[in-house]
């Protein structure tokens, strides 16, 4: 037996590895521990196997996914359930026995001739009450390398675990490769087995499908949180820096392209995480951690002006994986929205050879990514790995809304905040989906990853009020309000909305009560605009931004009433929704 496995003294780990070794039939099995030597081996294997390619900048590599493997595959991502469930929304699921009967033959021999990497990871900080251990089996060195950047190493945590049977299991295979990319994408499957806390994902490489510890593990965690009475949320976690060195910790949920990462990276603040948090109650106080230790981020529009910290990492030495971007002949990555002109000679592209005259083919895929460690960021918060997490003082919910919501408002109560989170809508844009202005309902920015009925998820949030002495304040934000086709907010204004919310958490400023919540006073925003952004803030701008558009708000909540009328929601939630509509009347 491998000495590393023997040292774990964990019969279930050995059973899992033996089972999937026999099923997937790899030519070799390599057990990885927490050492830098094993991490270096992964990077070497990724280069040797052609999944990654070295760039001249020290530590930088690039990876290309197949042309049909560039985003999350919603159609083939399914929950495996032992019995049917009424989720209250559309989600892909199938009978567990049928799913296993389908995918196991597809996995038979899928790793033949390849090397299986066995990795031990920890979701959340190690040696923490938040920790969830994760065992990953994959034949992709690129996937294993990505996970090493994104998650804490967990071999020692497995070795010291009191409950040897308590861990998530992820089995991934890129399948047969042609020119370094997955060939059989027609047989791509991503199945989440809630009953046994395991995920099978095959015939893919795109990290959103293949890195099981990310959104696939998130589904397992939400289900577990529901059973155990805590919260797993699709939220950033950041420190807002107030007067006299005060740091107030905010979480925030935003659908894609609505400002989530840019809020987490507001200049002058500190980032704990950009994507997923776990939140638990200790001594009647809600505390939260970042599940990850890295960022798998969309690279489009990352530039030196809007995203200086990230741009600095992407253009200097240090470990970074670029995916699906243009690589010039001299080994420099280029991407859409970087404000850097690509070379006239073009370069290597995920579609093949790219030149500037290919007007219909962007420099990089819209979902092109970068993978980095949070430690590389100058603005990372020092509590990143604190096993106790941080006290969660406030929550932001935001969406893309051109004609209704004010830039920032405070919920009237915790229950009202739960309602606002459940009512997140986001308008589509012509650039992404071809039809502009279509409102998509996305409660808690979490609909794609919800493994349980929405009513139960909402009930868990409502119940939090009975478990803590002080619930976090909840704020709704909107950076996309327009008039006559022009944005009423500058993209940097979100710093002012954050700093105003930070003051509200501590009772430093008063607010105006409206039917939809509390909005800022003009006189409190003027000094914040001067100190934070160095500019004057006019009364005309304030009136345009913070006029409460009663009819538009009423239409929004009536849309929500029609949706929730079809779901058996908790009584307290429906009372809050009806009260909101009544106030608007």
**CB within 8 Å of 37: residues ≥ 6 apart:** none
Known active-site residue 258: yes
Q: 378: which DSSP letter?
A: T
Alpha carbon distance 581, 67 (integer Å): 47
The answer to whether the beta carbons of residues 297 and 370 sit under 8 Å apart is yes
Q: Which residue of the set 24, 122, 258, 423 is catalytic?
A: 258
- Exposure of 340 in the CB half-sphere (CA atoms within 13 A): 18
Alpha-carbon span 461 to 339, nearest angstrom: 42
Question: How far, CA to CA in Å, does 422 sit from each of 42, 93, 461?
Answer: 41, 22, 10
CA distance 482 to 491: 13
Q: Helix and strand tally (H, E) in the chain? A: 18, 36
Helix, strand and coil content of the chain, in percent to the nearest 5, comes to 35, 25, 40
Kindly list the distances between the CA atom of residue 544 and the CA atoms of 284, 416, 485, 497, in Å, as whole numbers in the listed order: 41, 25, 13, 15
- Residue 279 to residue 130: CA distance in whole angstroms: 8
Q: Compute the distance between CA of residue 196 and CA of residue 480 in angstroms, rounded to an integer.
A: 42
DSSP state for residue 380 in the 8-state scheme: B
Give backbone dihedrals phi and psi of 342, rounded to 5 degrees, phi first: -70, 160
**C-alpha distance from residue 430 to each of 92, 151, 336, 438, 445 (Å):** 26, 35, 17, 10, 20
- DSSP 8-state class, residue 200: E
Task: Give the C-alpha separation, 254 to 319, whole Å.
Answer: 28
Angle at alpha carbon of residue 197, lines to 193 and 202, rounded to 5°: 50
Output the 3-class SS for 350-395: CCEEECCCCCCCCCCCCCCEEEEEHHHCCCECCCCCCCCCEECCEE
Burial label, 527 (beta-carbon count in 10 A; 0-12, 13-18, 19+): exposed
121 with 145: CB under 8 angstroms? no
Q: Residue 152 is inside which H or E element, if any?
A: strand 152-153
Q: How far is CA 485 from CA 191, 355, 437, 488, 537, in A?
A: 43, 33, 12, 9, 21
**Angle, CA 480 vertex, CA 476 and CA 486 arms, to 5°:** 150
- Please identify every residue annotated as catalytic: 258
């Amino acid at each position: 037996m491998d000495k590393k496995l023997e040292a774990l003294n964990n019969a279930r780990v050995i059973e899992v590895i033996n089972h999937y070794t026999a099923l997937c039939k790899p030519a070799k099995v390599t057990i990885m521990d927490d050492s830098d030597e094993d991490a270096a081996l992964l990077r070497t294997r990724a280069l040797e196997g052609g999944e990654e390619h070295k760039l001249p900048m020290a530590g930088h590599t690039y990876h290309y996914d197949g042309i049909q493997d560039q985003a999350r595959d919603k159609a083939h991502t399914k929950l495996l359930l032992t019995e049917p469930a009424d989720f209250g929304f559309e989600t892909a699921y199938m009978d567990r026995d049928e799913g296993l009967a389908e995918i196991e033959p597809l996995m038979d021999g899928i790793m033949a001739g390849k090397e299986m990497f066995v990795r031990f990871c920890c979701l959340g900080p190690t040696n923490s009450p938040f920790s969830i251990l994760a065992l990953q089996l994959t034949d992709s060195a690129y996937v294993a390398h990505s996970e090493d950047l994104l998650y804490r190493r967990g071999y020692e945590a497995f070795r010291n675990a009191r409950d040897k049977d308590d861990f998530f299991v992820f089995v991934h295979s890129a399948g047969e490769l042609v020119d370094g990319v997955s060939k059989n994408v027609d047989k791509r499957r991503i199945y989440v087995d809630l009953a046994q806390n395991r995920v099978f994902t095959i015939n893919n490489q795109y990290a959103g499908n293949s890195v099981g510890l990310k959104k696939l593990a998130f589904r397992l965690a939400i289900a577990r949180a529901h059973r155990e009475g805590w919260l797993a949320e699709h939220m950033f976690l950041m420190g807002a820096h107030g007067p006299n060195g005060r740091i107030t910790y905010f979480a925030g949920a935003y659908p894609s392209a609505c400002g989530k990462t840019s809020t987490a990276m507001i200049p002058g603040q500190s980032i704990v995480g950009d994507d997923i948090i776990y939140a638990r109650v200790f001594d009647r106080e809600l505390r939260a951690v970042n599940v990850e230790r890295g960022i798998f981020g969309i690279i489009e529009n990352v530039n030196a002006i809007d995203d200086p910290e990230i741009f600095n990492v992407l253009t200097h030495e240090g470990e970074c994986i670029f995916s699906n971007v243009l690589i010039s002949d001299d080994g420099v990555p280029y991407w859409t929205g970087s404000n850097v002109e690509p070379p006239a000679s073009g370069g290597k592209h995920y579609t093949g050879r790219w030149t500037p005259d290919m007007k219909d083919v962007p420099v990089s895929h819209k979902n092109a990514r970068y993978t980095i460690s949070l430690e590389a960021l100058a603005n990372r918060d020092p509590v990143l790995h604190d096993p106790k997490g941080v006290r969660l003082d406030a929550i932001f919910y935001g969406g893309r809304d051109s004609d209704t919501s004010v830039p920032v408002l405070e919920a009237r109560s915790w229950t009202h905040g739960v309602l606002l989170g459940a009512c997140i809508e986001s308008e589509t844009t012509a650039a992404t989906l071809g039809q502009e202005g279509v409102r998509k309902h996305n409660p808690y920015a979490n609909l794609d990853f919800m493994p349980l009925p929405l009513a139960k998820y909402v009930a868990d949030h409502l119940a939090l009020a009975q478990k803590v002495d002080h619930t976090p304040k909840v704020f709704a934000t909107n950076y996309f309000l327009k008039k006559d086709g022009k944005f009423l907010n500058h993209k940097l204004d979100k710093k002012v909305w954050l700093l105003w919310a930070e003051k509200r958490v501590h009772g430093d400023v008063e607010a105006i009560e409206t039917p939809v919540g509390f909005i800022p006073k003009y006189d409190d925003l003027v000094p914040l605009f001067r100190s934070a952004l160095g500019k004057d803030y006019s009364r005309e701008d304030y009136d345009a931004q913070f006029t409460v558009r009663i009819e538009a708000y009423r239409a929004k909540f009536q849309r929500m009433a029609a949706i929730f009328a079809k779901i058996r929601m908790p009584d307290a939630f429906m009372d809050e929704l009806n009260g909101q509509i009544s106030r608007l009347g």
